[in-house]
Amino acid sequence: MDLIAEGISKAFWLLVKGDRDVFQIALLTLRVSGLATLISLAIGVPLGTALALGRFRGRSAAASIVNTGMGLPPVVVGLWVSIMLWRYGPLGSLRLMYTPAAMVIAQTIIALPIITGLTMSGIGQLDPGIHVQLLSLGATRLQLVWLLVREARLAVLAAVIAGFGRVISEIGASMMVGGNVVGHTRVLTTATSMEVSRGNFGEAIALSLILLCITLTITSCLTRLQQKGGSTQS
């Protein structure tokens, strides 16, 4: 209990005093995970919609790959991204290894199947009669897709919440492709792991509490938006 109390006290004073290193780590955490979530959203929603509405050869195989990817271990993602970005890898000339950009790439790969799969499921559960009704009213294909995504907005928001929650809390891929370089690629999860390995459990608890506060704040805002959309829909 003394250790937990020490961690809570340190977290409080780190925030009150405005510790520069902690704020830098927290901002990088938000920037990397937020950007990865936005990229995954931009790719995953159209892809999930296409899989839900499309009727083409290989659709079932593609859906199975997406569903399998929802449980993809972050260390596996970190391994393959490292191989691709390593100095002698296929993309080594880009020199992205041990940079925030490499962390964004890895986290995007982790979040993308989640957002795609949940979007596919949400749109797939809509009443097929809605498609016919919208087309009979003169909606174009693009308008049809947009209106269906709006109709399934609760599922899309759930996908965003799940994707963001997955990447902001992951550590394996970020550690492997980012390297936990102080002032450059160190985020809250890797910093917490480092403090634990050093035996600084008070610092680790403080950092973990800050991470929990950030995650709770963002997911609460998204959840409120989701519930607001649900009440409007009803």
Domains in the chain (CATH in brackets) are 2-233 (1.10.3720.10)
99 residue type, one letter = T
pLDDT tens sequence across 60-86: 999 999 999 999 999 999 999 999 999
Contact (Cβ atoms closer than 8 angstroms) between residue 230 and residue 154:
yes
Distance from C-alpha of 19 to C-alpha of 107, rounded to nearest angstrom: 27
pLDDT for position 143 = 79
pLDDT tens sequence across 84-141: 999 889 999 999 999 999 999 999 999 999 999 999 999 888 877 776 677 677 777 7
Q: pTM for the full model?
A: 0.88
Each as own residue / partner, the long-range contacts of residues 144-150 (CB below 8 Å, 24 or more positions apart, any chain) are 145/46, 145/49, 145/53, 148/49, 148/53, 148/123, 149/45, 149/49, 149/119, 149/123
pLDDT for position 229 = 63
pLDDT for position 183 = 87
Q: Which two three-digit tokens encode residue 79?
A: 């391994």
Q: Give 234's pLDDT tier (boundaries 50, 70, 90).
A: low
pLDDT for position 96 = 95
Residue 231 pLDDT > 70: no
